Amino acid sequence: MDLQLAGKTVIVTGGSKGIGASTVRSFAAEGAKVAIAGRSPLEGESLAKEVKGIFIEAELGEASACHKVYEQTLGEFGRIDILVNNAGYNDGKDLNASPEDFMNSVHLNLSHVYTLVHLCRGELAKTQGAIINVSSKVAVTGQGGTSGYAAAKGAMNALTREWAIALAPENIRVNCVLPAECITPQYQNWFDSLKNPESTRKAVESLVPLGRRMTTPEELADMIVFLASPRSSHTTGQIIFVDGGYTHLDRAASANHTKWV
């Protein structure tokens, strides 16, 4: 299927690693021009060279960095068709954190999302483009130890619906993709920090109803790219779970109960 993305310009935040890097490659495979925004220059520059895009080093929690991303993308490509708000970090700021640390966590995970949409709105209206927010199942299920991150991702879900309504008159579509147990470098680093990483990963995988495996970054990326493409031209305000049924299906139904018999 031709996704009709050839020549389109895409900004992918947090695009140097994990889901972001897979998203960059998936857009590039469809002929899109990609601006990679993030704070990992070694990986970002290498990826930009691979896909013939550009890398913009930016600490996105700073408004000036968001302006830099917007201006450099427009200067390089002359248009913006798609914005993928992927950057984010589960920093584990729980109820033991001070209110100031909590708000800082929310700021770091959310402020750039609003700022970039605010900046890109005019260009997206010209191209009748699309916004894809990358949230997390934590916003729906909770995790118990990450109040700031959960609040920011819950806000992203709400803003997806809010902006879908606000931007519909300009023919800008807004959708959201939620991963659950996706094997990103950040997740793998957590596994590697544990005493028994392999057994822990198997325990996590056993909770995923479809295939008893973790989702790959490529599977998330392909959904992001499809939703951003003209092939999804009448889809907006949707929150799509790419999680093998982890969030909504009854995981107890697929569990092995024989060990209790």
Q: Which of 15, 129, 134 is nearest to 69 (CA)?
A: 15
CA 76 from chain center: how many Å? 23
Please report where in the chains the tokens 């009709």 appear, as a residue.
4
Choose the catalytic residue: 70, 149, 187, 246.
Answer: 149
> Is 70 marked active-site?
no
Amino acid residing at 103: M
Angle (deg, nearest 10), helices 41-51 and 18-29: 10
Question: Do the beta carbons of residue 153 and residue 135 sit within 8 Å?
Answer: yes
Dihedral angle of Cα 10, 13, 19, 23, to the nearest 10 degrees: 10
C-alpha 43/C-alpha 21 separation (Å) is: 9
Catalytically active residues, by annotation: 149
